[in-house]
A and B are shown apart, each in its own frame.
Chain A
């Protein structure tokens, strides 16, 4: 156990202490205790910059599953995001959640569980450990979304996100197992080394699709994004932390982490970039029609995640060009990493702004809001910085990453691999339209909330500026937006370069380093004109929003995937219900019929397939006249039972069958059996008659058995099966009997001349012991049933 491992699991350890701290220090907000941990962890992870560290703790060595912590550029970037934003969110939540009204112990336990799980996801080299932490994030996200569990919508949102992300998580596990089968290791670095031998394996593409399914569901890509808007029922700090900055980027992390494994295949390029660009487009289109602040932010998160995803997909093309210089597609990867950081900063601050507005006015509905600028100047400033950065306006960091995004997308059209020259045009066009809509909803977000006429009569309380503690975290994030906008190279040497190195490992020659310079934002490039176009068209659309909005609202409703999700969930429930009702009838007759039909089909089917039928007369005994007569008598008795109209006849006929059996035992030289059979048959028939006598009078339905063809066919099948099995077994005997031993030794060793009795009490005495036990239990059971009675109305 190294310090690194302790750091990863420290949130779990602190989570254990939280209930104790909450109960014993009621007058201190529990969040203050929590706050220390992410701050310390952030400082600790800062010390890793520029290093690559591996450290292993054995967990299940015999299966190759060990907790290998691996810190490289990519993992470190995420670890810093998780702890940094985590610290800010905890600080924000101290002011956001009331000490008196909320169950803070629950909240911080879930939040710390989530933090630890995220750290585990991004710092694990072993895929099984990664998967374990991955499901922990799903679980803690479920708990956090359902934090206000008395609300119906919270529970709905929690369940939906759970179903979708766990579905993807399981698919991902399948992908990991396939990768293990092909590469022979659970280590991601081991898999990267094994890529050349895996490429030709037919399972490789299946593993790719399964891993991507996990990434797409977690990162809310089309069409799995539907859980994210419903997850907005969570408290706002949770939305800011999980559903904008960290958890939804776990899928991005996964794609980036597995790029060195899969990126050489055209399927990876097409799936990642196409799904990303479609998500970008669809999310931005939908964001405009939302009226709830958090819903706008949710769809904008979906859209921005699509942007990052498509950049990672396009960045994979870089591996097909050998030289590092003038390789345009590395820019896409750089842009992905850069935008990842930018998005975490501005989206986190925007969520916090939405939370402040909600907290200070009592609503998040933009139709009720307006003119808050004069009441909340600081919040307004933060919102403007965040939203302008999101829209991609200079001088904020979003502008830089959007320019680089356009660069990457334009170069797809110049690609000469994967048939991208025909379909490549789709990318810059979709990207540009999506940017226009991004601009549009960013403006709606700011100006509908903070400008225009104030509608104070619609608000629950009089708006005023938030407490300073609530403002500090968004102020820090907003200043980062500005700082990264003016000095982007602060990031490029420390974080972006090492992260890109870990994504494009195979491209890098020994001993060389990536050089990233985010400074070429001077000069009249086509990207600049695209941005100017976005601003012009976006402004035009914003000003005319009222006129075309109604037409626009009609169209996405019909394409809502939520309807499909609800219908499929309900449909599956209805189907399984009716299916269960169909075969679980509650009639014992039906269940017996299933069992018998199964028996017939399986036995005869197996024998037919394996050629098990055999028929020979060799070695069989001769047929004697007594046996034939007795067999006829037995069949006659049996048939009498079947066709008897009264139960009395049936019981007597059963007795006759039993006595015939005893006579068979006499004929086949089994004196002990004959004796026992006679006695027991007598007692059994007496018992049957006893039951018959106690039948309630009015229930004496002495009618003929209702003849059913199905019953007849099933029973005919069973009889046929038994006969065929008996004849076939008898005709193909495998070996000699062992009874010569008993015949020779029963007097010599046991001193008895009756071989059957010697076997029963001497050679195989254990059988007899437990047979006695069976009789005792039956007798006790009968005694209990007869003697013990429940009082009237008492439940059993």
Chain B
């Protein structure tokens, strides 16, 4: 199971990298979103995917899944949401002010000095 999930994570990272290397700002942000999905799934996979009850003591089960990676992922989801929404609004403002979402055009002009 972990092998399969590792491969899925690898595919997510690959697609994220590919999108981040593109010219369009929106695709770069989609890429970062995909990257955080991949990272969250990776944390969960690395915590071990052994079967057990959900980490709720009311279940009265003999074994539970590891609660610590879940807490870490929960924190990571919220933080990446904050960052993603911030960069989205920044992209939106960049469109408004500069009239372009092409990273080649947003490259600044001090280079030609």
Separation of A683 and B103 alpha carbons in the complex (Å) = 26
B22's nearest neighbour on chain A, judged by CB, is: A705
A661-B13 contact given A706-B23, A714-B21, CB 8 Å threshold: no
Q: Is the interface of A mostly helix, strand, loop or mixed?
A: helix
Separation of A354 and B59 alpha carbons in the complex (Å) = 103
Q: Separation in Å of the B2 CB from the closest CB of chain A?
A: 5
Q: Separation in Å of the B29 CB from the closest CB of chain A?
A: 8
* Chain B residues within 8 Å of A730, by CB: 2-3, 6, 45-46
* Chain B residues within 8 Å of A623, by CB: 1, 4
Instruction: Name the residue in A701, A726, A779, A786 with the highest tally of chain B Cβ atoms < 10 Å from its Cβ.
Output: A726
Separation of A588 and B104 alpha carbons in the complex (Å) = 8
Q: Which of A621-677 contact B (CB under 8 A)?
A: 621-624, 627-628, 631, 634-635, 638-639, 641-642, 647, 650-651, 654, 657-658, 661, 664-665, 668-673, 676-677
Report which of B28, B56, B91 forms a contact with A754, defined as CB distance below 8 A.
B56
Q: Which of A687-738 contact B (CB under 8 A)?
A: 687-688, 690-692, 694-696, 699, 701, 705-706, 708, 711-712, 714-716, 718-720, 722-723, 726-727, 729-730, 737-738
A781's nearest neighbour on chain B, judged by CB, is: B86
Separation of A665 and B41 alpha carbons in the complex (Å) = 9
* Chain B residues within 8 Å of A376, by CB: none
Separation of A690 and B95 alpha carbons in the complex (Å) = 12
Separation of A677 and B17 alpha carbons in the complex (Å) = 22
Q: Separation in Å of the B83 CB from the closest CB of chain A?
A: 7
- Is A472 part of the binding interface, using a Cβ–Cβ cutoff of 8 Å? no
Report which of A631, A664, A726 forms a contact with B46, defined as CB distance below 8 A.
A726
Report which of A587, A647, A767 forms a contact with B104, defined as CB distance below 8 A.
A587
Q: Is the CB of A726 within 8 A of B8?
A: no
Separation of A725 and B75 alpha carbons in the complex (Å) = 23
Q: Is the CB of B73 within 8 A of A673?
A: yes
Type the 1/0 row for B69-98, where 1 means its CB is closer than 8 Å to any CB of A. 011011101110111111011111101100
- Is A273 part of the binding interface, using a Cβ–Cβ cutoff of 8 Å? no
A650's nearest neighbour on chain B, judged by CB, is: B30
Interface residues of A (CB under 8 A from B): 584-589, 592-593, 596, 617, 620-624, 627-628, 631, 634-635, 638-639, 641-642, 647, 650-651, 654, 657-658, 661, 664-665, 668-673, 676-677, 680, 683-684, 687-688, 690-692, 694-696, 699, 701, 705-706, 708, 711-712, 714-716, 718-720, 722-723, 726-727, 729-730, 737-739, 742-743, 746-747, 753-756, 759-760, 764, 767-768, 771, 774-775, 777-779, 781-782, 785-786
6 contacts between A and B (CB under 8 A): A676-B78, A711-B18, A719-B10, A723-B9, A726-B42, A771-B78
Interface residues of B (CB under 8 A from A): 1-24, 26-30, 33-34, 37-38, 40-42, 44-58, 64-68, 70-71, 73-75, 77-79, 81-86, 88-93, 95-96, 99-104, 107-108, 111
